[in-house]
Chain A
């Protein structure tokens, strides 16, 4: 009887403790209302955004020393990162181009420019920066050899410590990527 009581006490102590606080982040445009109000049939479409396999998980990724990558347990994305990047990129691209950007592949035949993005790196570092490395392929319909490929490599310092600042910096990098794509479309 005493042994059973002792075991139950130990079990209670073992299961005790406070649960860590968990935070989920969302990548979205700051002023999505502006892009929503833009009208016109899409001339530019964002048919595909693929993220590197190490990014395709719930936790926000931080790179430590010596290329060590740590996936946060308590700071996670609210949706798959590829979806978040695609939606944010579409909104920022529409903002930069001043016209709507299509996502629906049923309209792909009407797009003059089809944008495909492969995100190779999108994470924070323990040196206080966020990094975005992406390959962009822009396929232009009706032009001979109308395929342009660009590589985007950029980083941005975190405004403050913590994951919220890291997510803000990553969103800013996606915004810069959208502006670079818009520039490539406007000035092929």
Chain B
């Protein structure tokens, strides 16, 4: 048997050639990781139009520094928007916030001026404006037009509300004492409220000028008014003359209130006169029902408390009266009035409103009543007068169509009745019988006096005295001879006294002047003049 022997061979080791692909794979992986790590974020921006945007060419810039590039441009699924995918540099990641804004910079002409002329040569680019919101957002809606105020600009954003559009539009200036301190950012018509709403931005530090007492009004460049004092023309800045604008300030006699907060809503008045007609923000509505004629009572008529204006008449609530089904039954006609706490120097805010409501409720319990009074006998205009009538029966605030009502008394016969009753009460309290007894006694004495012989002679004697008195008065009247002589005598006396004073002064200075008189100084001779 042949000897069995094992053929032992050394195990073959992996060829070194494999190192090449391994190194290549490692290097590739490293490059991929490095590329991924050095790459900035990818953002998706949706624009209404792709005008001026090209893939791989259009840059994204911040403060004129390139921070990214557009990678692709395409339409969205419903073909109504353009989706732009852009890659930002890694360092630009911090620019992406919840409120970051993108817009295409192109040449534009608007109320704020001409912008983007530089892109005529260099081509358009996408501008990024970093916000201040939460970071991390990657999908954005691009703006169709550049924002009037870039996000993050220090200042105060407010909302103005107006019943009509007027001449104000986005980009128009906001002025304070004719100096531009802000701008209108947006102008939208609120269909639900049927009002114009304007977004306003006031730049820092001028935002501190806006307080709860501030009022905004429209300026159309210049105003022309003819009054009893003549024709007055008022013009604001040249820019507002061309494009209009908004001015803010305080109403006449107004004092600054608390600093306004971001987003606070203000009324936009038509002009400064409208501001002063209704200078207060807060008001409380009440209804005053009258049973007498309302001829002469017009919206805007004053509501006064003991002569102090505390509000205005808003309107007659006829439609509400019809709705309640009371019309045609001789029911009182409800008149809506608006009381303003600011007119009573209460705070022009919710606290003032609460204080006024409480005061009115208390006062009604103590006899506060509303009446109609005549403001002008010439025009017959009426106004609402309020006062406390302590003799009135205790009452409480009522309600009409969800609004509180203040009791009224008639100012005509009703008012007279109250006064007559009060007068009769006072007359009743007088000791009339005692007074009549004393009057009888006095009359008897007077009768005796008149019947006496000396009293009978009095009229003739009085006549004679009056005749003499008239004669004397005539003789000393202003243009009488006696008056003239008296005047001349007094004048001569004056001069004599003056001469006597001069003589006494001379004797005092020179006692021997009676004997040794000095030659009096000659009068100064005025010389001839030259024309």
Contacts and interface: CB of A to CB of B under 8 A. Distances in A.
B122 interface: no
B528 A157 contact: yes
B523 A72 contact: yes
Interface of B: 478-479, 491, 495, 498, 515-517, 519-520, 522-531
Contacts of B523: 62, 70, 72-75, 163
A67 interface: no
B475 to A, nearest CB: 15
A40 to B, nearest CB: 21
Interface stretch (A9-17, A92-100, A145-153, A178-186): A9-17
Interface stretch (A25-33, A110-118, A126-134): A126-134
Nearest to A157: B529
Is chain A's interface secondary structure helix, strand, loop, or mixed overall?
Answer: mixed
A42 interface: no
B287 to A, nearest CB: 44
A58 B528 contact: no
Contacts of A143: none
Nearest to A127: B529
A156 B526 CA distance: 13
Contacts of B520: 20, 73
Contact of A58 (B495, B524, B530, B531): B495
Given A105-B478, A106-B479, A57 B527 contact: no
B519 to A, nearest CB: 7
Contact of A10 (B495, B515, B517): B515
Nearest to B502: A73
Contacts of A166: 526
22 contacts: A10-B515, A14-B517, A15-B517, A62-B524, A70-B524, A72-B523, A72-B524, A73-B523, A80-B491, A106-B479, A126-B526, A126-B527, A128-B526, A128-B528, A128-B529, A158-B526, A158-B527, A161-B527, A163-B523, A163-B525, A163-B526, A166-B526
Nearest to A162: B525
Q: Which of A105, A129, A166 has the most CB of B within 10 A?
A: A129
Given A57-B495, A57-B498, A105-B478, A165 B515 contact: no
Contacts of A159: 528
B85 to A, nearest CB: 80
A1 B520 CA distance: 33
B526 A11 contact: no
A17 B516 CA distance: 12
Contacts of B527: 126-128, 158, 161
Interface of A: 10-11, 14-15, 17, 20, 57-58, 62, 64, 70, 72-75, 80, 104-106, 124-129, 156-163, 165-166, 169
A162 B528 CA distance: 8
Q: Chain B binding site: helix, strand, loop or mixed by DSSP?
A: loop
Contacts of B491: 80
Contacts of A128: 526-530
Given A57-B498, A72-B523, A75-B523, A161 B515 contact: no
Contacts of B517: 14-15
A166 B529 CA distance: 10
A128 B528 CA distance: 5
A137 B182 CA distance: 55
B479 A160 contact: no
A3 to B, nearest CB: 15
A106 to B, nearest CB: 7
B514 to A, nearest CB: 8
Contacts of B525: 161-163
Please name the 4 residue pairs, one residue from A and one from B, whose CB atoms are nearest each other, closest first: A157-B529, A128-B529, A72-B523, A124-B526
Contacts of B524: 62, 64, 70, 72, 126
Contacts of B529: 127-129, 156-158, 169
Nearest to B517: A14
A74 B188 CA distance: 94
A158 B528 contact: yes
A63 B303 CA distance: 67
B203 to A, nearest CB: 49
A77 to B, nearest CB: 11
- Most chain-A CB neighbours within 10 Å: which of B495, B515, B526? B526
Nearest to A58: B495
B293 to A, nearest CB: 36
A2 B491 CA distance: 48
Contacts of A105: 478-479
Contacts of A58: 495
A129 B517 CA distance: 34
A15 to B, nearest CB: 8
A142 to B, nearest CB: 20
Contacts of A106: 479
